[in-house]
Amino acid sequence: MREMVCINCPIGCNLKVYGDSEDSIRVEGNKCPRGEKYGRDEVLSPRRMVTSSIPLRKDEKTGIFEMVSVKTESAVPKGLIFQVLSEIKKVKLKAPVEVGDVILKNVSGTGIDVVATQKREQ
């Protein structure tokens, strides 16, 4: 049995997950179906959303970078977080950027895209 805190919402249910295979897993303590899924995933293959921000352009007067925030469209395998981050770091962006623009397709071969979460005008 493993104890964990569900990270899906601010309630943070204390979960007890019994078993360690697809068929034998049983989740207790969850207040909603998302907790059930989280408990299962956490034991079978834990996943996390990754968010970051990357430079768009530099203001020559102030030397301050204008950044754009980005996220993976859904959770990626936990073990790939730092690989995903380093791929995101290499992306060169150009304005304009809209919320939801795909800035990196199929990051680290996960089949998941990285999208912009901030709007930046020309």
Positions that interact with other proteins (CB under 8 A): 4-10, 12, 14, 48-53, 55, 64-65, 67, 69, 71, 78, 81-82, 85, 99, 117-119
Shortest separation between residue 73's beta carbon and other proteins, angstroms: 11
For residue 111, the SS3 value is: coil
Residue closer to other proteins (CB basis): 81 or 91: 81
* β-bridge mates for residue 76, sequence order: 48
The dihedrals phi and psi of 66, each to the nearest 5 degrees, come to -95, 125
Q: Distance between CA atoms of 56 and 71, rounded to whole angstroms?
A: 15
How is residue 3 annotated by DSSP?
E
Residue closer to other proteins (CB basis): 19 or 53: 53
Residue closer to other proteins (CB basis): 36 or 117: 117
Which sign does the torsion angle of CA 10, 11, 16, 21 carry? negative
Shortest separation between residue 43's beta carbon and other proteins, angstroms: 14
